[in-house]
Structure 1
Amino acid sequence: MSIGRRLLGKGIAAAGGLAIPGLLAGEAQAQRGQDTLRLVFRDAVPNIDPYFNSQRTGLILGHQAWDGLVHRDPESFRVVPALATEWRWVNPLLLEFTLRQGVKFHDGSDFTAKDAAYTINTVSKPETRVATPSNYAWIDRAEADGDFKLRLHLKRPTPAALDYLALVTPIWPQAYRERVGAEGYSRAPIGTGPYRITKFDVASGVEYERFDGYYAGGPKGRPAIRRITVRFVTDAATELTELLAQRVDWIWNMNPDQVANVNRIPFLTTLRQESMRIGYLSLDAAGRSGDTPMKNLKVRQAVWHALDRKTIAEKLVSGGSRVPVAPCYPSQFGCNADAAIQYDYNPEKAKQLLAEAGYPNGFDIELTSYVQPRQWSEAVQSYLQAVGIRARLNLLQVAAQIQRAWRGELAMSMGSWGSYSINDVSAILPNFFGNTNDDYARDETLQRLLVEGGSSADEAVRNAAYSAAIKRITEQAYWVPLHTYVNTYAFNRQLDFKAFPDELPRFYLAKWK
């Protein structure tokens, strides 16, 4: 039997185990009467401030409570006004903004250009140690000109600047944050968004209440639902159990094997949507974790040939998942698939390469992963073991794996990256290959190419640099793009919820039917 068929069998067995004792008796009790939406997420965020976590859950939680200077429309991807009403490029290194008047922070204080300049200048400094420095490495400085004018100076031309400002640059209140300090702010944050955070506990969750002072004309609008509660759980089984027991109203990224079963429950429904997130396998070519076999190019090439990524995408992830040819999402600017070296699924070739590298009998290695459902990690483990790479699977929580990755401890690790939903390769390639905490290649030639691609407003120059970078990444087999993600949502049928391709649930748009 092929590995692919064995994996399918596992999935079918898993799907058959959905038990729903007593849940069909009586109608579901929605939270309409309490005007509360109850959510659950599988990965707790160590810091609710969006600048200090790189988790998708953190981005989602922050998006409900903070606004940036501009906003990206989820339907058209067009950048529209938010805290700024107008902007113009004075030259390729200078953006000028006219800011909205009458905006209040959640504590009732006024938003001004000083808050925007303070935020931008703080997060762009290396000593601030934000979670993803590459998101702000293009910023030189910001200057307030009175209360409602802001000048943003760039270190280099950055065509995607407005996307970064829309998606990953929420504005802090200067006076409040300076008074309570960074730690105090993370415990009791305030922003200008449509919801205000009334409670945050790293171990248990977050509570929100609608901010009735949200500014007129704000791009997110006035939420229909007054309160949101968020709880953190540790695993997918608990998450699904909570939904079935009607203790929560919404979950996401459940095992797609369960979709048909969940849809048979009268009070629940599901929704699937491909996102910009891609799954990946990072290989320690630089030897940050020690004298690992991954330092050998032939071993890394063997890993690529060992994986039947097409079967993983189509049969396990399913729902329209694709195998990215290049190490980026296909729609991103600069994601040139034609530049990528391609590797077919060829277990015999993988074994041959391992023998040539000096490992005719294979080797043992740790494979860390936070990817759920666990069958996806087990699939990669099975394919590797079939060619002699005996991977010991170590499933971790997201935050724990990120910490180990940043300490340089991971010889081989699985994860996913959503590029903060920014449709430009500058939101993915520099994070993994730009001499950052996540860079396990440490390739100076590659780093120079990424700087070149990120330092020009000329599309031809950018494309040429990024194409050369993609060729080198794939030629050196540094990092394996496994599949695109297809988000699987399950929620109460009485909830009007819409999903978007940018993988950013907008609960401020949800309402009870």
Structure 2
Amino acid sequence: MAGSFQLSRRQSLTLGAGFLGYLTRAALAPRQAVAADVPVAAGGNASSSQRQVIVGLSQEPTVFHPLLPHIEVDDGVLMNLFSPLWRINAKGAFIPDLVTVIPSLENGDISPDGRSWRIRLRGDALWHDGQPVTAGDVLFTLQTLRDPAFPAYTRSGFDLIDHVEQTGPLELSWHMREPYAPFHAVLASAMIVPSHLLKGKTDVSAFSRAPVGSGPFRWGERIPSEEIRLKANPHYHLPKAEIEDAIIRYIPDLTVMFTQFETGEIDYLGMQGILPDRYPQARTLQHRTIIQAPQPFVEGLAFNMGRPCFQDLAVRQAIYEAIDKETMLKTLFQGIEIPTESFLPAESPFFDPNLPPHRFDPDAAAEKLERAGWRKNRDGVRSRNGLRLEFTNATTSSNALRTQAQEIIQQYLSDIGIIMRIEDRPAAVMWGRYWVHSEFDSALVSVDYMTGSDPDASSFFMSTASPAKGGRGQNVFQYANPEVDRLFQEGNRTFDRTARIRCYRRIQQILRNDLPMLPFYQINNIEGIKDTLAGYESNVNVRSNLWNLSEWHWT
């Protein structure tokens, strides 16, 4: 509990190793591979069949209808069962899947005003039950995502379509009320579903128990709370999977999952990865490659700017200056996590590398508050015009490491006369109405602010996107800046990449100054794979590094 916390800040940092990203590691993405260089005990390369791969995940996939709300761990299964119109690779390039060509202004499949689109499908794609994939399936998928009665995982872009029609067995077109440049990225993660199995069905539970897609793997079986088995699709329209069976095993205990990776019982250790305090040991494993995999998630402290004290920019800036972010990251994460000043991952071409670096300066923070009229009372707490500078901070409860992180921040703020009370909640409460309708004061949270692989974060930062103010979106900060609104609208309506980069870099600069949330770090997942398993490629543009499982093979 916060009231009984008596350790020094240095002791807190040492004991808190592995805190913040512990809960929120989710999607996966990659850059650095560190080859193991010290032998381990015998059995470290215990066998898997050369025709199968066993994947270890600490969360269990449970949603198998791709148009329903789902989380990152579900993506790893859905991306292998179903096909989108096109995919996005690790370099950020769109690659045709069900289409013969990706629509663009240049090839004429997008009209000059960006509002009319034409889709041309390949003719050899089949559903796993042998039926052909047609334009009717794409039409049904789009209509489902546009239907306000359907609980869709997203409506971004789909709600802008005002007319869609099938113009041939393998061709369809649609018209949008306004151009929406991020739609390419949205469609890269929109899996097409079979109309012949779902049209007219209000109950999709049977389909979810035995999903039928057109992807590189077909459904095998599911043993709840244990594993899912996928079988290679022999009729896949793209190069066939090089393994016959993919076993996705649910191992909720991270220590047990690490041990199974060490002994060779699993071939790939994915979400939630290896904890930072296990990283040195992991690097000693023989015949293993340990990967630092950047994710699109940014961890930070979110402010509810509907609260009077957070409406003062000086308060938000002083809080950031009072936190020794660099020491926290070095001590708690052994230098693994990636410090950031942006809401975008560093791998995005829209990322601004020239944002002002964070500065730890509690004296300057205190002086900033003094100048803004926040003076210390006899009890050491600052106030202005009768308003005390104290607030609550919340995150998911039942996580001792994350609570220690809050206590560390709590100490930093106490040093400059700010009281932060810790009031954590169960996940179902924390991320329900309490979060969505801005009932919190401040929160520790990890968020992927992008729309797919696109930098569009308008849902989080446009003034019209705050549910607490009657808007549609995820602006739980209740942040409002007219220039940011204008830049999002401009950036989303042009297909000119240079113009979009200019808009989004300016948005990052404004948000770095306004600080509706304090950006601590970009999550860097630590994953592991056997040296003889080739084809793995980390991809920050998707939420699961199982995105190209069909290309994995044993050497």
Q: Same fold (TM over 0.5)?
A: yes
CA RMSD, Structure 1 to Structure 2 (Å): 3.7
Asked if 1:498 is matched to 2:498, the reply is no
Which position in structure 1 is the counterpart of 2:455? 425
Asked if 1:60 is matched to 2:81, the reply is no
1:348-387 paired onto structure 2 within 5 Å: 348-351=363-366, 356=373, 360-361=380-381, 363=390, 365-369=392-396, 375=401, 378-379=404-405, 381-387=407-413
Q: 2:194 aligns with which of 173, 187, 212?
A: 173
The residue type paired with residue 455 of structure 1 is R
1:241-260 paired onto structure 2 within 5 Å: 241-244=259-262, 246-252=264-270, 253-260=273-280
The residue type paired with residue 267 of structure 2 is D
CA–CA distance in structure 1, aligned partners of residues 374 and 259 of structure 2: 47
Which position in structure 1 is the counterpart of 2:474? 438
- Cα deviation 1:366-391 (Å, max 9, x = unaligned): 4204999x757744541333222445
CA–CA distance in structure 2, aligned partners of residues 99 and 430 of structure 1: 31
Q: 2:446 aligns with which of 401, 416, 422?
A: 416
The change in CA–CA distance for 1:266 and 1:443 in structure 2 (over 3 A counts) is closer
The residue type paired with residue 455 of structure 2 is V
Give the TM-score taking structure 1 as reference length. Answer: 0.81
Instruction: Name the SS of the counterpart of 1:90 in structure 2.
Output: coil
Instruction: Name the SS of the counterpart of 2:74 in structure 1.
Output: helix
The change in CA–CA distance for 1:460 and 1:377 in structure 2 (over 3 A counts) is farther
The change in CA–CA distance for 1:498 and 1:358 in structure 2 (over 3 A counts) is farther
1:274-313 paired onto structure 2 within 5 Å: 274-286=294-306, 294=310, 297-313=313-329
Asked if 1:272 is matched to 2:292, the reply is yes
Contact preservation (8 Å) 1:276, 1:485: yes
CA–CA distance in structure 2, aligned partners of residues 10 and 441 of structure 1: 27
Per the TM alignment, residue 283 of structure 1 is displaced from its structure 2 partner at its CA by 1.9
- Cα deviation 1:135-173 (Å, max 9, x = unaligned): 64554443211210121323322333323222x111111
Q: 1:90 aligns with which of 103, 111, 123?
A: 111
Q: How many residues align?
A: 489
Which position in structure 2 is the counterpart of 1:38? 54
Which position in structure 2 is the counterpart of 1:225? 243
CA–CA distance in structure 2, aligned partners of residues 12 and 158 of structure 1: 40
Contact preservation (8 Å) 2:182, 2:492: no
Contact preservation (8 Å) 1:328, 1:481: no
Instruction: Name the SS of the counterpart of 1:163 in structure 2.
Output: helix
1:59-208 paired onto structure 2 within 5 Å: 59-74=75-90, 76-86=91-101, 87=103, 88-91=109-112, 92-134=114-156, 136-166=158-188, 168-178=189-199, 180=201, 181-200=203-222, 203-208=225-230
Per the TM alignment, residue 245 of structure 1 is displaced from its structure 2 partner at its CA by 5.2
Q: 2:521 aligns with which of 483, 487, 497?
A: 483
The change in CA–CA distance for 1:385 and 1:133 in structure 2 (over 3 A counts) is farther
Asked if 1:405 is matched to 2:423, the reply is no
Contact preservation (8 Å) 1:195, 1:209: yes
The change in CA–CA distance for 1:183 and 1:26 in structure 2 (over 3 A counts) is closer
The change in CA–CA distance for 1:463 and 1:214 in structure 2 (over 3 A counts) is closer
Per the TM alignment, residue 261 of structure 1 is displaced from its structure 2 partner at its CA by 0.9
Greater Cα radius of gyration, structure 1 or 2: 2
CA–CA distance in structure 2, aligned partners of residues 237 and 370 of structure 1: 20
CA–CA distance in structure 1, aligned partners of residues 160 and 394 of structure 2: 34
Contact preservation (8 Å) 1:141, 1:152: yes
Please identify, of 356-365 and 485-494, the stretch whose mean Cα deviation from structure 2 is larger: 356-365
- Cα deviation 1:408-438 (Å, max 9, x = unaligned): 4443333334456844321x34245433453
Per the TM alignment, residue 93 of structure 1 is displaced from its structure 2 partner at its CA by 1.2
- Cα deviation 1:256-275 (Å, max 9, x = unaligned): 33122123333544222334
Which position in structure 1 is the counterpart of 2:489? 451
Per the TM alignment, residue 443 of structure 1 is displaced from its structure 2 partner at its CA by 3.8
The change in CA–CA distance for 1:493 and 1:409 in structure 2 (over 3 A counts) is farther
User: Which runs of no fewer than 5 residues in structure 2 stay unpaired?
Assistant: 1-6, 20-39, 104-108, 382-388, 467-471
- Cα deviation 1:71-114 (Å, max 9, x = unaligned): 2233x432222100023223311221210102111222210001
- Cα deviation 1:195-252 (Å, max 9, x = unaligned): 123345775553311111211xx2xx32222222223344533432443454433223
CA–CA distance in structure 1, aligned partners of residues 403 and 473 of structure 2: 23
Which position in structure 1 is the counterpart of 2:46? 29
Q: 2:13 aligns with which of 7, 18, 42?
A: 7
Q: Give the helix-richer structure, 1 or 2.
A: 1
Give the TM-score taking structure 2 as reference length. Answer: 0.75
CA–CA distance in structure 2, aligned partners of residues 245 and 179 of structure 1: 49
Instruction: Name the SS of the counterpart of 1:85 in structure 2.
Output: coil
Instruction: Name the SS of the counterpart of 1:7 in structure 2.
Output: helix
The residue type paired with residue 395 of structure 2 is T
Contact preservation (8 Å) 2:344, 2:450: no
The residue type paired with residue 384 of structure 1 is Q
Aligned-residue identity in percent: 17
The residue type paired with residue 441 of structure 1 is F
User: Which runs of no fewer than 5 residues in structure 1 stay unpaired?
Assistant: 14-22
Per the TM alignment, residue 4 of structure 1 is displaced from its structure 2 partner at its CA by 6.4
Contact preservation (8 Å) 1:405, 1:437: no
